[in-house]
Amino acid sequence: MWCSTGWCIVTRTLSMLTAPLAAGAQQAGKVARVGYLAASPITPERPHSGLAALRQGRRELGWVEGQNLVIETRSGEDKYEQYVDLATELVRRKVDVIVTGVAPAIQAAKHATETIPIVFVPLADPEVLGFVASLAQPGGNLTG
């Protein structure tokens, strides 16, 4: 299946990063923990397209929320100064990966951890924004 949206790309990247967890989950009962940082509040009345795409992609790969997958959602509620605290909280909760699509949240996650993979929606120029060293060799724990 071909996809052109950034969230579809994130879902595929996340699939590659969490594939080893799936094998471990089957053997040791490990639950994969995904931290999801959004800009705006996430409610049933105000769903988030990125989160919906992430959930759909996970289901297609056999991940079931509440069984072998937990998605920890956090929202800056359009207050960008909250991202540092939210990213730090996700790190404390020991998520396996952080997913986001907002530049301030990416920066906060990068500040909060150097080891947990951070998957972000492709930005106009993540190299210029300082998220990656270069597009060819991003280095670090960020990918898009």
Q: 24 in a domain, yes or no? A: no
Which pTM does this prediction carry? 0.74
Element (H, E) at 38: strand 32-38
CA atoms of 19 and 60, how far apart (whole Å): 13
Q: 74 in a domain, yes or no? A: yes
What's 61's domain CATH number?
3.40.50.2300
| Mean pLDDT of the residues in the chain | 78
Q: 1 in a domain, yes or no? A: no
Q: How many domains does the chain have?
A: 1
pLDDT beneath 50: ranges in the chain = 1-4, 7, 9, 21-27
- pLDDT, tens digit, for every residue of 21-48? 444 444 457 889 999 998 887 776 776 7
**Neighbour-count burial of 44, counting CB atoms closer than 10 A to its CB (0-12 exposed, 13-18 middle, 19+ buried):** exposed
Q: 15 in a domain, yes or no? A: yes
Q: 11 in a domain, yes or no? A: yes
Q: 58 in a domain, yes or no? A: yes
Residues spanned by the domain of 47: 6-19+29-143
